[in-house]
């Protein structure tokens, strides 16, 4: 897994050469300010106590408090969390929100825990890292397999520990606990705004464009819903167990697929509505096969490292909307460019989530309560402005959007570090 961090950092090093940055500055940019790794204990329902590895990596706070989600996942480790913390610092700078970058996690399968055990795990994560958290220090949020309910428990635990109600310590809370309107679908909504811009630039016809979405969690499901409603044809969908492709290319309704998933526990090879199942026109596919379907738009919205040296030659699409953090190994960027595949990189594509998190934090701190309309209007402005800014840089430097994003972000972080006397 060491490759993951090195791969992401190599992108920055490439840009550093382009911008002629000195070695000392580069080192500061790629070194986390604080790496926290602790054991946390969870009391299981049978009374036993189990220990798990828990992390918080605070990468850079030159532009504002550390910000970034917490993931509960059986395969997560410190290297992954460090990489994602680095990406958060870059992402917040790309969309120009006053936040730094961080990430947290626990190596655990939360799907195997009861509600009580999950609550205990969430509260204990806060207990362990409390001294490093706070509305002006470090503001966590949801990530893979963490939910508004988990954020509510964490906020409550922090408030108890510091002896005052402190909603701005964490974002992605439920509406009842100070969450923002629109935060639940913000990642997908933000991605949709930039997708629409890119589709115009590439002159694709949404009504004819074929789309495959890998991942059926918060981001994956919601983007599928949005593209379906906008008239795109969804020909592939998958969850962590695998997926289905539509052999007729006529387009699947994600809502109906969700109904099947709820009834059957997974996205099935059949497409069932109530008791009627259409098993003829859908093919069961793997999570790798979904990426190789002939499409116009491919949306990896599951986990990192999905498009790598191993399968990049099999990718048949025009545009990749990289919603999952690190879904594309940066070392294949050149190959994708040669194949004429445009990539909207993760650090822009999924920045809608942290942008609305920032709006939530602001509302909590100023005791405001914005309507969903206001949230999405501001989100749209941010996403469009960032997309168009990256497009200009891309043209100026004759490069791709990911490199353009790094050029913009690195410039902004350096400016903040200089003004703080850090470099």
What amino acid positions are annotated as catalytic residues? 103
Near ligand GLU by CB under 6 A, which window of 61-69, 313-321, 390-398, 415-423? 61-69
In the bound state with ligand GLU, the residue whose beta carbon lies nearer, of 235 and 375, is 375
User: How do 242-246 and 233-239 pair as beta strands?
Assistant: antiparallel
Burial (CB count within 10 angstroms: exposed 0-12, middle 13-18, buried 19+), residue 366: exposed
According to DSSP, residue 307 is labeled B
Residue number, 285 or 408, with CB nearest to ligand GLU: 408
Residue 357 touching ligand GLU (CB under 6 A)? yes
Strands (E), 279-397: 282-285, 297-300, 319-321, 342-344
Q: Which is nearer to ligand GLU, 43 or 147 (CB)?
A: 147
User: Do 229 and 192 touch, CB atoms closer than 8 A?
Assistant: no
Strands in 101-107's sheet, in edge-to-edge order, are 34-43, 49-60, 101-107, 66-73, 138-142
3-state secondary structure of 264: helix
Continuous segment of H or E residues that includes residue 36? strand 34-43
Kindly state the smallest distance separating residue 97's Cβ from ligand GLU, in Å.
Answer: 10
Instruction: Give 143 or 246: the residue with its C-beta nearer to ligand GLU.
Output: 143
Within residues 210-249, the interface with ligand GLU by CB under 6 A covers none
Nearest to 333, CA basis, from 20, 7, 94: 7
Alpha carbon distance 136, 364 (integer Å): 12
Structure tokens given for 229: 């409603």
Nearer to ligand GLU, 122 or 171 (CB): 171
Count of residues that interact with ligand GLU, criterion CB under 6 A: 12
Q: Of 225, 232, 258, which is closest to residue 244 (Cα–Cα)? A: 258
Nearest approach, Cβ of 209 to ligand GLU (angstroms)?
26
143 binds ligand GLU (CB under 6 A): yes
Residue 24 beta carbon to ligand GLU: minimum distance, rounded to whole angstroms: 29
Q: What are the tokens at 240?
A: 């962590």
What does the alpha-carbon distance between residue 155 and residue 115 come to, in Å, rounded to a whole number? Answer: 17
Least Å from the CB of residue 377 to ligand GLU = 19
What minimum distance in Å lies between the beta carbon of 328 and ligand GLU? 15
With CB under 6 A as the contact rule, the residue among 122, 238, 245, 325 that binds ligand GLU is 325
Applying CB under 6 A, does 350 fall inside the site for ligand GLU? yes
Please tell me whether residue 354 binds ligand GLU under the rule CB under 6 A.
yes
Q: Which is nearer to ligand GLU, 152 or 246 (CB)?
A: 152
Q: How far does Cα 212 stand from its chain's mean position?
A: 18
Nearer to ligand GLU, 36 or 235 (CB): 36
Q: Are 88 and 101 in contact (CB under 8 A)?
A: yes
When asked if residue 69 is in the footprint of ligand GLU (CB under 6 A), the reply is: yes
Q: How far is the CB of 172 from ligand GLU (least distance, A)?
A: 6
Spatial neighbors of 50 by CB under 8 A, at least 6 apart, are: 41, 42, 44
Say if CB 118 and CB 93 are below 8 A apart. no
Q: Does 180 bind ligand GLU (CB under 6 A)?
A: no
Asked if residues 210 and 250 have their Cβ atoms less than 8 Å apart, the reply is: no
Residue 8 is a binding residue for ligand GLU (CB under 6 A): no
Q: Which residue is nearest to ligand GLU (CB)?
A: 69
CB of 159 to ligand GLU, least distance (A): 19
> Nearest approach, Cβ of 2 to ligand GLU (angstroms)?
21
In 3-state terms, the chain is what percent helix, strand and coil (to 5)? 50, 20, 35
* 141 touches ligand GLU by CB under 6 A: yes
Q: Does 76 bind ligand GLU (CB under 6 A)?
A: no
Q: Does 171 sit near ligand GLU (CB under 6 A)?
A: yes
Q: Give CA–CA dist 388/395, Å, rounded.
A: 11
> In sequence order, what E strands does 87-175 have?
101-107, 138-142
Q: Which stretch binds ligand GLU (CB under 6 A): 37-45, 154-162, 347-355, 392-400?
A: 347-355
According to CB under 6 A, which residues from 11 to 40 bind ligand GLU? none
- Interface residue with ligand GLU, options 32, 64, 65, 68 (CB under 6 A): 68
- Binding residues (CB under 6 A) for ligand GLU: these are 67-69, 141, 143, 171-172, 325, 350, 353-354, 357
């Amino acid at each position: 897994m060491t490759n993951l961090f090195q791969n992401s950092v190599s992108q920055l090093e490439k840009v550093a050469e382009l911008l002629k940055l000195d070695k000392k500055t580069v080192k500061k940019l790629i070194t986390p300010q604080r790496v926290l790794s602790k054991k946390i204990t969870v009391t299981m329902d049978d009374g036993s106590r189990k220990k798990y590895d828990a992390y918080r990596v605070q990468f850079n706070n030159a532009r504002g408090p550390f910000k970034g989600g917490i993931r509960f996942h059986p395969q997560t480790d410190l290297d992954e969390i460090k990489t994602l913390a680095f990406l958060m610092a870059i992402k917040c700078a790309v969309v120009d929100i006053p936040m730094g970058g961080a990430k947290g996690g626990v190596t655990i399968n939360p799907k195997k825990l009861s509600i009580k055990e999950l609550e205990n795990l969430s509260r204990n994560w806060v207990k362990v890292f409390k001294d490093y958290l706070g509305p002006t220090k470090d503001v966590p949020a949801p990530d893979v397999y963490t939910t508004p309910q988990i954020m509510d428990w964490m906020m409550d635990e922090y408030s108890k520990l510091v002896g005052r109600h402190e909603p701005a310590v964490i974002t992605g809370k439920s509406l009842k606990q100070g969450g923002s309107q629109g935060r639940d679908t913000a990642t997908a909504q933000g991605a949709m705004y930039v997708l629409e811009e890119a589709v115009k630039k590439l002159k694709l016809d949404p009504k004819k464009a074929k789309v495959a979405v890998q991942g059926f969690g918060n981001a994956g499901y919601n983007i599928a819903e949005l593209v379906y409603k906008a008239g795109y044809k969804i020909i592939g969908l998958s969850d962590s167990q695998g997926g289905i492709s539509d052999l007729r290319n006529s387009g699947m309704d994600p809502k109906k697929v969700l109904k099947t998933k709820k009834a059957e526990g997974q996205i099935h090879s059949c497409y069932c509505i109530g008791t009627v199942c259409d098993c003829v026109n859908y093919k069961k596919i793997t999570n790798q096969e979904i990426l190789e379907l002939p499409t116009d738009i491919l949306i990896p919205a599951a986990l990192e490292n999905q498009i790598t040296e191993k399968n990049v030659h099999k990718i048949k699409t025009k545009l990749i909307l990289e919603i999952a953090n690190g879904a594309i190994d940066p070392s294949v960027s050149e190959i994708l460019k040669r194949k004429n595949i445009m990539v909207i990189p993760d650090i822009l594509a999924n920045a809608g989530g942290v942008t609305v998190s920032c709006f939530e934090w602001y509302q909590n701190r100023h005791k405001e309560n914005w309507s969903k309309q206001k949230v999405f209007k501001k989100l749209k402005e941010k996403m469009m402005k960032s997309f168009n800014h990256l497009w200009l840089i891309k043209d100026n430097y004759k490069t791709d959007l990911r490199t353009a994003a790094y050029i913009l972000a690195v410039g902004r972080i350096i400016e903040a570090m200089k003004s703080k006397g850090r470099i």
